[in-house]
Structure 1
Amino acid sequence: MQAPRPHDLLFARDPGAFACAGARPDWFDAGAPLVVRREATPPGMVAVGARGLHRNERCPGYLPVAAIAAILTPRMLAQQAHATHADFPCIAALRTLAPRLDALDVDWGPAGGAGYWLACGLPVLRATSDLDLLVRLPRRPAAATLAALAKLQDGQPCRIDIQVDTGAGGFAFAEYVRGGRVLLKTDAGARLVADPWEAA
């Protein structure tokens, strides 16, 4: 089993192994996946978060690596999107954009609510839901790739939010396109950087 990375979804062998930071909330679903977070942890542990059906239902915590039963990566969820026929605008956009993203030859996939819904089917999506996309770019891509990513929003039925993961941190692609410094989120916290690839 590969090491879990931020935005991966984990299923626990024993839901009781999830240590919530604070009291476990009433909305916690023991059968739902946990989302990998960015945070430095001791060996054998991974920072994760539980989510409920609503945006305000979030609970950070930790899971022993030994308790992981399965990992679903955004890339794996992208492959599932071809077979779904949901009416949500964000899923329609995902199906439309999939061939364009595949053509870029990058590691990509749905994150956020769309990815979570594809992983477990829980009713977290709305007609107004954004499409969160994760693109893993360990090296600065060619200018043509960046330009193609910047055009993904054009003509789509929902807002597209692209997060880029360099391997050492993650940042919002929209911030990078605007120019100037970007907020790079790392295991050690967030910081403003001029170049998210060189900052690693």
Structure 2
Amino acid sequence: MELSPHDLLRIKGAEELISHTPIPNWVEGSLAISPFVVIRRSRAAKGQVAVGVRGTERNKRFAAFLPIDSILSRVSPEQLAQEKGWQNHSKKIFHCLDWISDLLDVASLTWGPTGSVGFELATGQKAVTEKSDIDIVIRISEEFTITFAQKIENGLKKLPFRIDVQLETKEGAFSLSEYVNSEGKKVLFRTMDGPFLKEVTLRK
């Protein structure tokens, strides 16, 4: 099973988690309602994957590890984009995904929703609030140029919600908006060994 950051994993419950610190009481309750964890961008011991648990409140997030053989199923952001389950939602924020889909699919980009929007789509559990942004991941290749990055950024600005796009490479990820507005300066590059500033240059 190929696992990537942002993938959602269904598990049995909190008893499957491995942690070097005490597990908060809310974690068990949260996983009892919606038994899903998200893959974190961090290294893990052999046979394990770094995961995060989200609670009902924004400040409730818990980092842990999970034995890979405890995974019951996996939902990737790309799968959510292909299924277009947002078309069954009445909330306005989900309607924006049709517009985003049209913008990104025409360029044959591999993408998908993450964050609270992706979590609600994958689990059916309410996670989106009035203050929620739309988080998107795009897995880019050499064909993704700076010119196209600017086009995507300008297109997304037309939407009534803030869109946070992470551009994923084999080495790590960086923010689309930060890159487009960096003017040649270094951007925050997120890797399995932690974040650091790096000069990123896409083809023109």
TM-score by shorter chain over 0.5: yes
Letter in structure 2 aligned against 1:150: E
Offset at 1:99?
1.6
Q: For 1:38-187, list aligned pairs within 5 A.
A: 38-82=41-85, 84-139=87-142, 141-179=144-182, 180-187=185-192
Aligned partner of 2:18 in structure 1 is 19
- Superimposed CA distance per residue, residues 140-164 of structure 1 (whole angstroms, 9 cap, x where no aligned partner): 6134431332123232121111011
Question: Using the alignment, how far apart are the partners of 1:10 and 1:167 within structure 2?
Answer: 21
- Superimposed CA distance per residue, residues 15-71 of structure 1 (whole angstroms, 9 cap, x where no aligned partner): 421124522223222243111011111221100000012210100000011111111
More helix by share: 2
Question: Using the alignment, how far apart are the partners of 2:90 and 2:15 within structure 1?
Answer: 35
Aligned partner of 1:189 in structure 2 is 194
Q: Secondary structure at the match of 2:88?
A: coil
Deviates more, 1:61-70 or 1:150-159: 150-159
Question: Using the alignment, how far apart are the partners of 2:57 and 2:103 within structure 1?
Answer: 31
Q: Secondary structure at the match of 1:5?
A: coil
Offset at 1:82?
4.7
- Give the TM-score normalised by structure 1: 0.89
Matched residues, number: 196
Aligned CA RMSD, in angstroms, stands at 1.9
- Give the TM-score normalised by structure 2: 0.88
Q: Measured at CA, do residues 82 and 50 of structure 1 come closer, stay the same or move farther in structure 2, by a change above 3 Å?
A: closer
- Superimposed CA distance per residue, residues 65-96 of structure 1 (whole angstroms, 9 cap, x where no aligned partner): 11111111001111233553323332111122
Q: Secondary structure at the match of 1:114?
A: helix
Over the matched positions of the two proteins, sequence identity in percent amounts to: 30
Q: Measured at CA, do residues 121 and 82 of structure 1 come closer, stay the same or move farther in structure 2, by a change above 3 Å?
A: closer
Question: Using the alignment, how far apart are the partners of 1:134 and 1:166 within structure 2?
Answer: 10
Q: Which runs of 5+ in 2 are unaligned?
A: none
